Amino acid sequence: MGYERVMGLHVTDDVGYQQYRDAMLPILTTYGGSFGYDFRIAEVLKTKTADNINRVFTIEFPDQKTMEAFFADPEYLAIKSRHLDHSVASRTIIAMYNNATEL
């Protein structure tokens, strides 16, 4: 069983967002994390937020504690500040849950 986070973003700079992904991926893998799904969204039919969403993805970790450690990692935070904060207008946590990988 792992811990999964479903995120919705409003990406405003695709190049900057890809630079963020490229820079943070090595750190993510050291925490045992990975991306599960990744979608570009053309139209949102129903939402619980006023924020726009044009990208939805899942990010997976071995457990919640590991996810929290990753998002608090100083090297990750520097990459986030350098790339993500300038390329994404809004971030929405859609869901977080324990995930059984096999059905």
> In degrees rounded to 5, what are phi and psi of residue 61?
-135, 160
d(CA 17, CA 20): 5
Give the model's pLDDT for residue 1: 65
Please give the pLDDT value at position 101.
Answer: 57
| Each residue's pLDDT tens digit, 28-86 | 999 999 999 999 999 999 999 999 999 999 999 999 999 999 999 999 999 999 999 99
Strand ordering across the sheet containing 88-99: 34-40, 55-61, 2-11, 88-99
Look at residue 50 in the predicted model and tell me its pLDDT.
Answer: 93
Other CB atoms within a 10 A radius of the CB of residue 82 amount to 14
Supply the DSSP string of 39-55, one letter for each residue: EE-S--S--SSSS---E
Q: What is the pLDDT of residue 11?
A: 98
